[in-house]
Structure 1
Amino acid sequence: MIDPIQKSVTVPLTPTEAFALFTSKMDLWWPKAGYSVGGAASKLHFPSHKNGEITETDAGGTTHVWGRVIACEPGAYVAFSWHPDRPESEATVVEMRSIATDTGTSCDLTHGGFDILGPTADAISTSYLHGWDIVLGCYRGAVKRRVFA
């Protein structure tokens, strides 16, 4: 059994702002050039409701489903299946909690369920271990640049 990946970043935003930036404003900060199916010109959509599909639409208009929202409590918690560029049957699960701190919000990400990937599980979980650092670094950078204001 592969342990879930746990990452955390604290940002100087309210939980509601931090949550909205991570979800509905994902297209503003996600590193699409290196972490998408269709490249930097793609558009990302993250729904704010249960069962909504997380999608990427590439420059040619083709939509790729990355996952589906499993649970959503705006401003506090979201859980979603995750399978960019893989079949839905190979979906892992990502959770993000937004927790108020004295200096802003702690955004605590957990990514698990890698065992569904069989023999490739270890390699894929290892790639996400580094990949989430890059992604959350872009998220933190968007906060510093106030791209969402």
Structure 2
Amino acid sequence: MTANTDHETVVRDSIDVAATPEHAFEVFTRGIDRWWPRSHRVQPGELRQVGVDPHVGGRMWEENDAGETCAWGRVLTWDPPHTFAFSWLVGPDWKPPAPDAAGSRVTVTFTPTDTGTRVDLVHDRLDAHGPGWEGVRDAVGGDGGWPGILRRFAGVL
């Protein structure tokens, strides 16, 4: 499964989950450590923990087994249970980003349905990563990217 791309700089994916928007938002954000793939890390070593600081300006961060912490994103929108957006600062080299790294944007919306919640994810502005940004687009749009990650998230719900 591959997410839809349009305008070359956008990846879109969605999933329907049997949970309220409040619960889905909570698990997606504060519960990210329960579903984020352990192989998806930017630091050396094993991923010990991944988290979200729950406020605008907060970090998207990871901690490795050596106790080193790295911020790889910033919270742009914190509007429970409707919208969560963050900057994605990880570039084409897939290494810890510099403090002034350019970022793309990931926006996740939680819309009530008759059977639960539709979770829509849009990862846009991918060209902000500069040369090689197409590799970021292809990775996050491929099965090991957002499509697989959303399935893991839904499995935890």
TM-score by length of 2: 0.84
Match of 2:150 among 136, 139, 146: 136
SS at match of 1:48: coil
Q: Which residue does 2:42 correspond to in 1?
A: 37
User: Does the Cα contact within 8 Å between 2:78 and 2:84 map onto a contact in 1?
Assistant: yes
Match of 1:81 among 73, 83, 87: 87
- Specify whether residues 41 and 118 from structure 1 end up closer, same or farther in structure 2 by C-alpha distance, changes over 3 A only: closer
For 1:121 and 1:139, how far apart are their aligned partners in 2? 25
Q: Which has the higher helix share?
A: 1
1:104 to 2:109 alignment:
no
User: Does the Cα contact within 8 Å between 1:11 and 1:106 map onto a contact in 2?
Assistant: yes
RMSD between aligned residues? 1.5
For 1:51 and 1:101, how far apart are their aligned partners in 2? 30
For 2:42 and 2:136, how far apart are their aligned partners in 1? 16
For 2:18 and 2:46, how far apart are their aligned partners in 1? 27
Give ranges in structure 2 of 5+ residues lacking alignment.
1-6, 91-95
1:7 to 2:13 alignment:
yes
User: Does the Cα contact within 8 Å between 1:48 and 1:74 map onto a contact in 2?
Assistant: no
SS at match of 1:9: strand
User: Does the Cα contact within 8 Å between 2:14 and 2:118 map onto a contact in 1?
Assistant: yes
> What stretches of structure 1 move > 3 A for 4+ residues in a row?
38-41
SS at match of 2:101: helix
TM-score by length of 1: 0.88
Deviation at residue 40 of structure 1 after TM alignment: 4.8
Q: Which residue does 1:48 correspond to in 2?
A: 54
User: Does the Cα contact within 8 Å between 1:4 and 1:110 map onto a contact in 2?
Assistant: yes
Q: Once the two structures are superposed, what CA deviation does each residue of 1:13-63 show, in whole Å capped at 9, x if it has no partner? A: 00000001000000011111x211245542111122110111111111100
Which segment drifts farther, 129-138 or 14-23? 129-138
Give percent identity, aligned residues only: 31
Q: Once the two structures are superposed, what CA deviation does each residue of 1:51-93 show, in whole Å capped at 9, x if it has no partner? A: 0111111111100101010111011101111124333423111
For 1:28 and 1:51, how far apart are their aligned partners in 2? 22
User: Does the Cα contact within 8 Å between 2:17 and 2:116 map onto a contact in 1?
Assistant: yes
SS at match of 1:51: coil
For 1:21 and 1:121, how far apart are their aligned partners in 2? 29
- Specify whether residues 16 and 40 from structure 1 end up closer, same or farther in structure 2 by C-alpha distance, changes over 3 A only: farther
Alignment size in residue pairs: 142
- Specify whether residues 21 and 123 from structure 1 end up closer, same or farther in structure 2 by C-alpha distance, changes over 3 A only: same
Which segment drifts farther, 115-124 or 22-31? 115-124
